[in-house]
Amino acid sequence: MVDLRAEMFEAMGVDASDESWRRAACEWFEMRLDDPDFGIFVVEEGGAVVASAVGAIRDAAPSPSCPAGRDVLINNVCTAPVYRGRGHGSAAFDAVLTWARRTGVQRAELMATEGGRSIYERAGFVEIGSAAMRAML
């Protein structure tokens, strides 16, 4: 999972070569495997994890587009380069969507790379027109 996460960051233009974050990421995934507010899905081939997708339920204030407030943030959707084009990423992504629907959330959000955009658009995702912004604190 952590190697796929690094691959995802590289695809987004983020330098993921610093090894210091990997141990924390591994612990993060391990701590959330049984947490009902996280859906962690992988596709294996030959005993190796070759694709992944993660959903995280968020408890937000209700809004016009999400009256119940709860939604899901989908992330870590990635397929190892040599396994791309076989439907593995779509399978992991579809598993997250199925899980999210079963939790009763009304909305899903994600940040798309150009390589993943078509999968998300086929599932009904559209650009929402607001810029994602971030600040280190």
> What's the rounded mean pLDDT across residues 102-124?
92
Residue 129 has pLDDT above 90, yes or no: no
Angle between helix 2-11 and 20-32 (nearest 10):
120
Amino acid code (one letter) for 10: E
Q: Is the CB of residue 110 less than 8 Å from the CB of residue 119?
A: no
Tokens representing 109?
């959000």
Residue 115 banded pLDDT, cuts 50, 70, 90: confident
Which range, 15-19, 55-59, 129-133, is most confident? 55-59
> Which residue(s) pair with 79 in the sheet?
51
pLDDT tens by residue, 45-95: 999 999 999 999 999 899 998 899 999 999 999 999 999 999 999 999 999
Q: Is the CB of residue 71 less than 8 Å from the CB of residue 108?
A: yes
Residue 132 has pLDDT above 90, yes or no: no
Distances (CA, A) of 109 to 74, 88, 99: 6, 20, 14
pLDDT at 113: 84
pLDDT at 24: 94
> What's the rounded mean pLDDT across residues 6-35?
92
How many of the other CB atoms lie within 10 Å of CB of 60? 11
Residue 108 banded pLDDT, cuts 50, 70, 90: very high
Tell me which DSSP letter residue 113 carries. -
Tokens representing 11?
């695809």
Residue 134 banded pLDDT, cuts 50, 70, 90: confident
pLDDT at 100: 97
pTM across the whole model: 0.89
Tell me the domains of the chain and their CATH numbers. Answer: 2-122 (3.40.630.30)
